[in-house]
Amino acid sequence: MSNPLHNVIHKVEKTTHPITVKCVVDNLSEISKDIQAIREYSHSLNILFITREYNSRKYSDDRIYIERLPAFHIYVKNTYKRTFYPNTRPYQIIQQTVEKYIKRLEEIEKNKDDWYRFFNKLVERIKKLMHRKTRIEAYAEEKKKDKRVSDWS
């Protein structure tokens, strides 16, 4: 027996972005509701969210960028982008980072398409230059030339 709802329900594929939000706190046991809300928002955008303790010896980003705790680092493909705090519009910062990443992806795809078209045209031109005309093609070309008016008098 087949389930009739199975045909109606469409599965939505989640596309995870290579964006990571790292929450840096003083103590892992003291996580506030603000941090949990930011975590849920990150997961809703298919972004990896990691919580860890502050360690300036192990993480240079902690040493260089953090002014107070809790703090959030945001990374795109393991490349540091910025540090923000719960009172500095974290949702907007996360959203802007995702939008910039998606826009950059679209630009890359467009450039790939442009290069692909350019390469194909180049290959076609080289083939055309190297092509030796057959007798039929040469005859058809001569026939086209004969149809042109050469004497206007």
pTM (two decimals): 0.64
- What's the CATH code of the domain at 34? 3.40.30.10
**Would you say residue 100 has pLDDT above 80?**
yes
Query: How many separate domains does the chain show?
Result: 2
Averaged pLDDT for residues 84-111: 89
Same domain for 81 and 127? no
For 111, other C-beta atoms within 10 Å of its C-beta total 10
Are 94 and 23 part of one and the same domain?
yes
Asked if residue 120 and residue 87 are part of one domain, the reply reads no
pLDDT higher than 80, residue 12: no
Please check whether residues 69 and 26 belong to one and the same domain.
Answer: yes
Q: What is the pLDDT of residue 143?
A: 78
Range of the domain at 33: 19-98
Q: Does 50 map to a domain? A: yes
The answer to whether position 71 is within a domain reads yes
Percent of all residues in the chain with a pLDDT value above 70, rounded to a whole number: 86
Do 94 and 62 lie in one domain? The reply is: yes
Q: If you count them, how many residues does the chain have?
A: 153
| Mean pLDDT for the stretch of residues 11-33 | 82
> What is the predicted pLDDT for the residue at 7?
61
Residue 19, Cβ density class (10 Å: 0-12 exposed, 13-18 middle, ≥19 buried) = buried
Q: Does residue 107 sit in the same domain as residue 94?
A: no
Q: What is the DSSP letter of 11?
A: P
pLDDT at 108: 83
